[in-house]
Chains A and B, each alone.
Chain A
Amino acid sequence: MAFLPSSAEAIVGVDTGGTFTDIILILPSPQPGTPSRLIAHKVLSTPEDPGAAVVQGVTELIGQISADERPAFTVVHGSTVATNALLERRGARTAFVTTAGFEDLLRIGRQTRRHLYDLRPADPGPLIDDDLVFGVRERVVAPGNVAVPLSREEIDRVAEAVARSGARSVAVCLLFSFKAPQHEALLASALAARGLFVSASHKVLPEYREYERAATTVINAYVSPLMQHYLASLERRLRSAGARRLHVMQSSGGCLAPGDAGELGVHTVLSGPAGGVLGAFHAARMAGIERIITFDMGGTSTDVSLVDGRIATTSESEIAGLPLRVPTLPIHTVGAGGGSIAYLDAGGALCVGPRSAGARPGPACYGLGGNEPTVTDAHVLLGRLPKTAFLGGRMELDEVAAARAVESLARRLGASLEETAWSILQVANVQMERAIRVISVEKGYDPQEFTLVSYGGAGGLHACDLARSLGIPRVLVPSHPGLLSAWGMAVADMVKTYSQGVIGPLESTLAAGWAALRELMARACRDLGPEARIDGVVSLEPAIDLRYLGQSFELAVPLPTVHWRTQDPLPAPPQPPASELTVRFHAAHERRYGHRADEPVEMVAVRLLARCRAAHHNHNLLVRPAEKAGMAKPAGENVVYVCGGPAKVPVFRREELPPGCRLIGPAVVAEAHATTLLNPGDVLHVDEAGNLLITVDVRRT
């Protein structure tokens, strides 16, 4: 097909949050080399019809541009429709069809209990009731051959029973369908012919381990009909608001056309925090930084993630107690945030969280009726959070209420208010430090080689402390930290992922693996070719899952990326010899697990991530005229507790820090929705893009 570059389009990122829907518009640069323009907007979310806020926000934002300058635009949307449907159990009425004898597959799961020492666990109940589960007489066995054939009568019997059950959606997962999908395919078409929304496991996740595959397929069946409905209506409304097209954010950090997202809703259920990670990575790359640990500290919890030069995904996550085996950004969450409540337990240990004051009433210092001591209250008492800094001065923090909340705890500890507040912060820090260790050290990465990118309201008050205790030499606080998530969506590539289980000894299975990969690449080119409007290129990133023979965890060994131009013939996969793959697997294993084994290597699956650019984003988005500024002038001075003692610390307004300026900690940098605290010896530099780049004095502890 011929490639015609489209005229420069604008892109709109929309992030639906619990309270606000954030919208960001990136206008294409008028000529090459000049910066793009960025306009942001915020509207209240409308949980009963999330699309209403999206349409309203986009309309208002576009309305800010004069009619003759108004560009064509694409909307990229991060939706929580699928996530909420699952968490609140409001999905489609879904049936489950599986091999007879295994009807209880989903209820048994892995036969483990969630809490080891809970004698009275509550039963959350199954996602699918027993009367919506159907067994099929058929059986495929390990080598992929049929042991019990699937008869026409059986297909009809099951399809009829499902149709009569009142289910609207159906998940089909038969044993060994990842190897031999023919039985599943026959059932799927019979069910689809009866008007049901069908998710077949060999399409959703053609990989081995029946429970994980079934659960992922069922999640898809459960959320996709709602997603389809929501997106169809949203797309229609946005088109009438002038949008050219709609893209949907996925958990993998790539976006997807609404048709695909409606078929494969399971790919969106963990998309919420993906925008932030993507935005953080984008901001860091603009500052020339490729290896980052993201740190998003909110009111009730903190999300952390690691990006090592490229957005990588994991297939091991879970939601609502079910395993989810689709590509997801590896984000780790701990229940410690600004609103986390501090208390003394029965044994006399000072604990922080997971109970949180949330947004309402919020920390005591909000003055909204909260009376328990929180992390934010501790910051206020220690002068770390300037009273007037909050929400750009629109809300003054109530120091007296914060003191009152911490006081009762201080009395029980026999300590001063300041000691108590300081201790609360240290306990919160150690929990967040542990979270960062989980995503870095436990995965074989040394945090000292990374930059900590902090966003979210409370993060800047902890980032430099955490960096110091983990030996992370640098902290980046991006400009517009509150909009990072919407921004990340606006710059996201279109991404589709594919996989196919191919199990066997590497040498003898490799040919089958290449054939499967060639097939996946052809599908990806067909799927994404028409979407490659920006530069006519689809990037194909293949990988092969390998493990030592008999092990049950596999490692994805990446193969070279293939850049396919849409006018070229379909590409062939790169085919390095088995010997080379083996060497690379040993190295990957050693890096991740610290050792290599002298064992034969086995192939488990081939994977493919295909991407194409979705927007004309310019990497110099926010460049301002560079000023050769020297040391910045503070707006005031506070007594602030840093490194365990009080000190007179200058307070700066972020908007008064010009690019190029430097300052040396201790210092407080306040902005509308966030505050950053530098410890003594830390050096802050404002870069061209307005990012705060802090060199942390890691030798001091």
Chain B
Amino acid sequence: MLVEQARLAIFNNLFRSVADEMGVTVERTAYSPNIKERLDFSCALFTTEGEMVAQAAHIPVHLGAMPLSVKAALDRFPSFAPGDIIMLNDPYMGGTHLPDITLITPLFAGDELIGFAACRAHHNDVGGVSAGSMPVAKDIFQEGIRIPPVRLYDAGKLNSALLDLILANVRVPRERRADLYAQVAALRRAQIRAEEIVAKYGVAAVRTQMRELLDYTERLMRERIRRIPDGRYTFTDVIEDDGCGNTDLSIRVAVEVRGDEASVDFAGSAPQAEGPVNAVYAVTLSAVVYCFRCLLGPETPASGGSFRPLTVLAPEGTVVNASFPAPVAAGNVETSQRIVDVVLGALAQALPDEIPAAACGTMNNLAMGGFDADGNAFAYYETMGGGMGAHAGGDGLSAVQTHMTNTKNTPVEALELAYPLRVVRYGIRRGSGGAGRYSGGDGLVREIEVLQPCDATLLTERRRTAPYGLVGGSPGRPGRNLLSRGGGPWQELDSKVQLRLEPGDRLRIETPGGGGYGVPAQ
């Protein structure tokens, strides 16, 4: 009685609900504010070949990168047993940057492998030279502990020696352990749901419907690409500096649309940098997939089928496909935003009514850490929103997370209760959005006073270059990082900087506005 087209909707709902339930499990059981409060994590389901079947609506930057984690696990291990959990964070073996730890479990129906579930979460600290593990590093060894694909659980049995070793290398082991257990709980949830679904519909149907769903999202993407005028569209923008004195690292893209396929080629982008702005291929892939995903409707399932009509070429050894042992902490959070800017900038030439001007173009990463008055270690990490680009339909939103991230802020009261820090000001940076027929959204201002000596790292962008406007709109105003020592005058800091702060020092982050759209009315 059931038509195939209905089966598609039914299984799409089922698979989505598994991913959603995993997400709820993490949100509820995780420990650190970064995961629980800011929701910096993702959950997804995969086929046995590692194609993504469903992802809960979490963080876009994890979107295209998760399948590569599963691929890395598949490459590393010839076979899996029920109850196995693979852990990894190595950007050169399936990861993106070290704080993102991914856990993967095979899903079994009896002794038959039917797919994988994965959960990636951003951990506040994974060791390395500075608290928060987002240092201005020169190689990956300074960034923290590297975890290649390893079995954290072997057929359901915890490898406690491995866990102990990892926890001995991070600054707040209590938090890491609890956050990892939250990820484990999510994977267990996935296994239980998978068993229920298989019991109801059978293994064959589940396998078939996973494939059908991938084909379905592929059709949707092909249909969408077909409506982009054929042509070759190019765009170039820059990473303004790598924190090590190297400036204006260009990211160049050529988007070529032919019928229902598109190739996105980053040939001509800068060689990989000395500082941590390097993106591994997984990050670049995520950013490209995000851009095309936005062209589909919001209700479209996030499944790997939509990647199929896209070819993403990024020459090895460049800032968009870094090779070992380049540092990569900011590739995920900063370079990914610029990759979006160039891909959308190229697409805007084909679809001027659909693509907005540039958003703030940075996640404004701030990591702080040290010891509180009682001698307990703390690690605080936060990303800040900015202005969204204006578009043909209206102004850009102000003071929001844009493109590759959507993490919540830490409430001022939560922050001050947890850390020896005081927020002096948190507001909208008025007038920072670019002018135009429609104005870009305004950025944010967040000013923090330090109450105990601590280390701070800032990884930011768009402090010297500005988010572009479109169709005659003005660029957004660049951001500023300011420091006042003990109530002294404000001095402007570089976009990427590591500092030692003393009580009474204040940091003030002003985030960029979005670009304007259209010539302003006179």
Residues of A at the B interface (CB closer than 8 Å) are: 101-105, 107-108, 110-113, 115-123, 141-142, 147, 175-176, 208-212, 344-352, 413, 415, 418-420, 422-424, 426-427, 430-431, 433-434, 437-438, 441-442, 469, 503, 548, 550-553, 592-595, 597, 599, 641, 644-645, 701
B522 at the binding interface (Cβ < 8 Å): no
15 interchain pairs, CB-CB under 8 A: A101-B426, A102-B426, A108-B444, A113-B401, A118-B294, A120-B391, A147-B422, A413-B5, A423-B2, A423-B6, A426-B2, A437-B17, A593-B185, A595-B29, A597-B31
Determine the residue in chain B with the shortest Cβ distance to A100.
B425
Contact in complex: A594, B409 (CB < 8 Å) = no
Contact in complex: B412, A599 (CB < 8 Å) = no
Contact in complex: A347, B217 (CB < 8 Å) = yes
Complex Cα distance A550/B293, Å? 36
Residues of B at the A interface (CB closer than 8 Å) are: 1-3, 5-6, 8-10, 12-14, 16-17, 20-21, 24-25, 27-29, 31-33, 36-37, 57, 60, 174-175, 178, 181, 185, 188-189, 200, 216-217, 219-220, 223-224, 290, 293-294, 296, 298-300, 344, 354-356, 384-385, 388, 391-395, 397-402, 406-409, 411-414, 416-418, 422, 424-428, 444, 447
Contact in complex: A120, B354 (CB < 8 Å) = yes
Determine the residue in chain B with the shortest Cβ distance to A645.
B1
17 additional A-B pairs beyond A108-B409, A112-B385, A147-B422, beta carbons within 8 Å, are A107-B428, A111-B384, A111-B408, A112-B401, A119-B294, A142-B413, A175-B413, A208-B411, A208-B414, A212-B411, A346-B223, A349-B216, A350-B9, A434-B13, A594-B185, A597-B178, A644-B1
Q: A117-B296, A431-B13, A434-B17 are in contact. Are A422 and B1 (CB under 8 A)?
A: yes
Contact in complex: A101, B425 (CB < 8 Å) = yes
Q: A413-B3, A552-B33, A552-B37 are in contact. Are A348 and B216 (CB under 8 A)?
A: yes
Which residues of A have CB within 8 Å of B174? 599
Contact in complex: B3, A349 (CB < 8 Å) = no
Given A103, A208, A593, A641, which contacts B413 in the complex, CB threshold below 8 Å?
Answer: A208
Contact in complex: B399, A107 (CB < 8 Å) = yes
Contact in complex: B298, A117 (CB < 8 Å) = yes
Which residues of B have CB within 8 Å of A122? 393-394
Q: A112-B407, A599-B178 are in contact. Are A120 and B13 (CB under 8 A)?
A: no
Given B9, B181, B393, which contacts A349 in the complex, CB threshold below 8 Å?
Answer: B9
Which residues of B have CB within 8 Å of A441? 21
Complex Cα distance A294/B446, Å? 45
In angstroms, how far is the closest chain A Cβ from the Cβ of B44? Answer: 14
Complex Cα distance A110/B400, Å? 8
In angstroms, how far is the closest chain B Cβ from the Cβ of A309? Answer: 22
Q: How many A-B residue pairs have CB under 8 A?
A: 210
What 7 pairs between A and B have smallest CB-CB spacing? Answer: A423-B6, A347-B220, A101-B425, A350-B5, A644-B1, A110-B408, A111-B385
Given B181, B393, B398, B413, which contacts A107 in the complex, CB threshold below 8 Å?
Answer: B398
Complex Cα distance A437/B409, Å? 29
Which residues of A have CB within 8 Å of B3? 350, 413, 415, 419-420, 423
In angstroms, how far is the closest chain A Cβ from the Cβ of B55? Answer: 10
Which residues of A have CB within 8 Å of B412? 102, 175, 210
Q: A348-B219, A593-B185 are in contact. Are A141 and B6 (CB under 8 A)?
A: no
Which residues of B have CB within 8 Å of A347? 216-217, 219-220, 223, 300
Given B188, B298, B399, which contacts A108 in the complex, CB threshold below 8 Å?
Answer: B399
Contact in complex: B28, A550 (CB < 8 Å) = no
Contact in complex: B411, A349 (CB < 8 Å) = no
Determine the residue in chain A with the shortest Cβ distance to B11.
A430
Contact in complex: B29, A119 (CB < 8 Å) = no
Residue of A118, A413, A552 with most partner-chain B CB within 10 A: A552
In angstroms, how far is the closest chain B Cβ from the Cβ of A272? Answer: 25
Determine the residue in chain A with the shortest Cβ distance to B408.
A110
Complex Cα distance A351/B395, Å? 32
Which residues of A have CB within 8 Å of B217? 347
Contact in complex: B8, A112 (CB < 8 Å) = no
Contact in complex: A115, B298 (CB < 8 Å) = yes
Complex Cα distance A593/B27, Å? 10
Complex Cα distance A597/B36, Å? 15
Residue of A119, A345, A419, A592 with most partner-chain B CB within 10 A: A119
Which residues of A have CB within 8 Å of B413? 142, 175-176, 208-210
Given B36, B344, B409, B447, which contacts A553 in the complex, CB threshold below 8 Å?
Answer: B36
Which residues of A have CB within 8 Å of B181? 595, 597
Q: A142-B416, A175-B412, A594-B29 are in contact. Are A111 and B399 (CB under 8 A)?
A: yes
In angstroms, how far is the closest chain A Cβ from the Cβ of B304? Answer: 14
Determine the residue in chain A with the shortest Cβ distance to B517.
A120
Which residues of A have CB within 8 Å of B354? 119-120
Which residues of A have CB within 8 Å of B417? 142, 208, 503
Contact in complex: A104, B397 (CB < 8 Å) = no
Complex Cα distance A427/B7, Å? 8
Contact in complex: B397, A113 (CB < 8 Å) = yes
Which residues of B have CB within 8 Å of A123? 394-395, 397
In angstroms, how far is the closest chain A Cβ from the Cβ of B25? Answer: 7
Which residues of B have CB within 8 Å of A427? 6, 9-10
Complex Cα distance A119/B391, Å? 8
Complex Cα distance A350/B411, Å? 42
Complex Cα distance A118/B401, Å? 12
Determine the residue in chain A with the shortest Cβ distance to B28.
A593
Contact in complex: A102, B8 (CB < 8 Å) = no
Q: A120-B354, A423-B6 are in contact. Are A550 and B57 (CB under 8 A)?
A: no
Determine the residue in chain B with the shortest Cβ distance to A503.
B417
Q: A210-B412, A423-B3 are in contact. Are A595 and B298 (CB under 8 A)?
A: no
In angstroms, how far is the closest chain A Cβ from the Cβ of B218? Answer: 8
Determine the residue in chain A with the shortest Cβ distance to B199.
A701
Complex Cα distance A104/B178, Å? 34
Contact in complex: B411, A211 (CB < 8 Å) = yes
Complex Cα distance A110/B9, Å? 32
